[in-house]
Amino acid sequence: MLKLTDLTVRMAGRTLIENAEISIPEGVKAGLVGANGTGKTTLFKVITGLHGSETGNIHIAKGWRIGQVAQEAPGTEESLLEIVLKADEERTTLLAEAETATDATRISDIYMRLADIDAYTAESRAASILAGLGFSERDQHSPASSFSGGWRMRVALAAVLFSEPDLLLLDEPTNYLDLEGALWLESYLAKYPGTVLVISHDRDMLNKVVDSIVHLEGRKLTFYRGNYDNFEKQRAEKRELIEKARIKIEGQKKHMMAFVDRFGAKASKAKQAQSKLKAIGKLKLPAQLEQEGTMPFNFPNPEKLSASPMIKLENVDCGYGEDTVILKNIKLNIDADDRIALLGSNGNGKSTFSKLLVDRLPFVSGNIVKAPKIKVAMFAQHQMDDLHADQTPVDHVRKLMPQAGESQVRSKVAQMGLNHERMGTVTAKLSGGEKARLLLGLCTFHGPDLLILDEPTNHLDVGAREALVHGLNNFEGAVILVSHDRHLIDATMERLWIVSDGKVGPYDEDLDTYRKKVLKDAKTKRKEHILEVAPDIAEPEVAQEIAEPVEPPKPKLPKKDREELKKELAPLKAKITEKEKQIQKLNEAIEKLDSSLATPGLFQNHPEKGEKFSKQRVEADEMLAKVEEAWLELTTEYDEAMA
């Protein structure tokens, strides 16, 4: 369990968290959410001891190992696989000791412990994680120094996942991932055996991975049961209850004040009037939930919509010269009203295709026909480095409006979502989200016909991402989007194109189908790697599944014999029925506990009861898993006997 009591945290003279209390039971997967700048990352630093607290205590279960992604990505000459394997410090230490140990008893203990921690499957597990995060087998054996910072951050993520800490802290883990890596990570975390606390603004990840939400708002921490959608629902209900209570109390005050106004001057009613005034003073309005207001995104529309097709690609090959062709024989049309999401893992050519459309990369062969005077704008994360650190947003915009007055320039900056204070702040001191807003505003300044967005959400919180959805839907030009945020894709895009194996073309299925394909491909690669590195010791059942031919089905027994066999198996069937009843009862109990845990204000008003329900919920989950496993074993035994 992770328990914070009476916690107050300050940073640079500013109070971020004040007298906050929260308990996260063992086994819970919780999303830490809140507006940018509220102190989520600082809270992680407090939990890990990297930043002190003014008051309060942090209690972590005895023996728990805490893991988080290293702040500096590895850039050594070691291979990626070696870096990830070293993250399991116990395994590394034991293997080193095994090389020098001479005492027979100690050697025996070492190898028994190595077997206990699955040391002999370590390489296959590490390779599986790296593959899931987008590294090919060749990549895994390459030195870390040969990769960019973003890719090395993936290695750091792989290392902490491989080490399997009891408490896993993840701060925006999808920021360095493509859609395929984000899909794999979701699947991995959903099955993670330990306790997880993840900072994320990715609505889909929070809905699919976590079972609880910790909300940091108004310097307080509030625990909600359920995923992000459930959190929003509970919060809306809570706001509605508070508003009703506020209206009721204001009505009482108004009624009492009317009595005071009417009879306050009369001597016979003076005492009653004073009593009413005291009563009015005691009526306290309930604290309102903060409204996390988000500035909208306003993208200037094209001056005149182009005719379709706006861009026509005919048998186009592109890359970095004739010797390095990345994409071949592209035959596509982009219409004036297209909304296209590009799928495909990093390295397959999404950025190459985007650069081709924006004329930052010449094509090698073929032909491209564009509508006259077409304007194409592109936003990419690396372009944030092109902002001038010593200049303000006003300075950046003034260059695009040299003839405009100061008020006009500032009005334009305000439309980008930067308030009066921030528009006069040098870029170096802006947050990531503010820089993204500025860059989006600069890219779209002249009303593009086609807007290309490459991972625009990396520094945006949930509210800003929702504002981006509305901004894109209000934009009248065409949009091509590369993003790991499925909610953004689902809410704004109408077509899917896939970039893979040197080709670009339509993908006729939906995102759910694509997700299944990505996870299936990752599983297949994992099996193939296991067979290659350790077919005799690493997951033999997987090796058998792939290597051995499928046995022909057994002939069915005659009807009479089958009836006799059923009688013999009746006790086994009864056990199966009993387990099914237990599963049903446990599911009903879990539903009731979830309902109780969703009670507004439970953890604030009745913390002991909330903690009790949370513990019971975890215990019920564990019991359900055991009963389901027993049911599966019994069912398998029955089916095999009846086969």
482 — pLDDT class (breaks 50, 70, 90) = very high
How far is 545 from 538, CA to CA, in rounded Å? 13
* Sign of the C-alpha dihedral computed for residues 150, 152, 153 and 158 taken in this order: positive
Give the pLDDT score at 636: 72
Instruction: Examine the pLDDT at 471 and tell me if it is beyond 80.
Output: yes
Q: Which of 124, 190, 133 is nearest to 518 (CA)?
A: 133
Strand pairing of 2-11 and 55-60?
antiparallel
Do 333 and 477 form a contact (C-beta atoms < 8 A)? no
Do 119 and 96 form a contact (C-beta atoms < 8 A)? no
Instruction: Examine the pLDDT at 10 and tell me if it is beyond 50.
Output: yes
Most confident of 375-384, 495-504, 545-554: 495-504
Task: List, in order, residues 6 or more apart from 80 with CB less than 8 Å away.
Answer: 130, 135, 139, 140, 141, 142, 144, 147, 155, 158
Q: Which of 519, 443, 464, 457 is nearest to 489 (CA)?
A: 457
How far is 165 from 169, CA to CA, in rounded Å? 9
% the chain with pLDDT above 70: 83
Span of 74-88, 142-156, 294-308, 558-572 with lowest mean pLDDT: 558-572
Instruction: Examine the pLDDT at 629 and tell me if it is beyond 60.
Output: yes
554 — pLDDT class (breaks 50, 70, 90) = very low
Residue 423 structure tokens? 């528009």
168 — pLDDT class (breaks 50, 70, 90) = very high
Which residue type does 529 have? H
- pLDDT tens by residue, 310-348: 999 999 999 887 778 899 999 999 999 999 999 998 878
Do 483 and 341 form a contact (C-beta atoms < 8 A)? yes
Mean pLDDT of 460-485: 90
Average pLDDT of the chain is 82
Instruction: Examine the pLDDT at 281 and tell me if it is beyond 70.
Output: no
Q: Which of 404, 481, 453, 464 is nearest to 413 (CA)?
A: 404
Give the pLDDT score at 289: 42
Span of 32-36, 164-168, 338-342, 546-550 with lowest mean pLDDT: 546-550
Q: What is the DSSP letter of 211?
A: S
Does an H or E element contain 324, and which?
A: none
User: Is the backbone peptide bond immediately before 309 cis, with ω within 30 degrees of 0?
Assistant: yes
Which residue type does 254 have? K
Give the pLDDT score at 272: 58
User: Is the model more confident about 604 or about 452?
Assistant: 452
- pLDDT tens by residue, 153-162: 899 999 999 9
Give the pLDDT score at 541: 45
% the chain with pLDDT above 90: 25
- pLDDT tens by residue, 133-149: 888 888 888 998 888 88
Most confident of 302-306, 350-354, 535-539: 350-354
Instruction: Examine the pLDDT at 94 and tell me if it is beyond 50.
Output: yes
- pLDDT tens by residue, 570-611: 888 888 888 888 877 877 787 787 777 777 677 667 777 777
Spell out the domain ranges in the chain.
Answer: 233-282, 559-642
How far is 639 from 643, CA to CA, in rounded Å? 6
Do 68 and 153 form a contact (C-beta atoms < 8 A)? no
Instruction: Examine the pLDDT at 368 and tell me if it is beyond 60.
Output: yes
How far is 342 from 345, CA to CA, in rounded Å? 10
For 100, other C-beta atoms within 10 Å of its C-beta total 6
- pLDDT tens by residue, 408-448: 999 998 888 888 888 888 988 888 888 999 999 999 999 99
Residue 315 structure tokens? 């048998």
Task: List, in order, residues 6 or more apart from 224 with CB less than 8 Å away.
Answer: 212, 213, 214, 215, 230, 231, 234, 235, 598
Which residue type does 234 have? Q
Residue 187 structure tokens? 């699947």
Q: How far is CA 131 from CA 86, 224, 245, 523, in A?
A: 17, 34, 54, 9
For residue 112, report the phi and psi dihedrals to the nearest 5 degrees: -65, -40
Query: Reduced to 3 DSSP states, what percent helix, strand and coil does the chain have, rounded to the nearest 5?
Result: 50, 20, 30
For residue 232, report the phi and psi dihedrals to the nearest 5 degrees: -60, -40
Give the pLDDT score at 311: 93
Instruction: Examine the pLDDT at 246 and tell me if it is beyond 70.
Output: no
Give the pLDDT score at 477: 93
53 — pLDDT class (breaks 50, 70, 90) = confident
* Sign of the C-alpha dihedral computed for residues 111, 113, 115 and 119 taken in this order: negative
Give the pLDDT score at 293: 53
Which residue type does 293 have? G
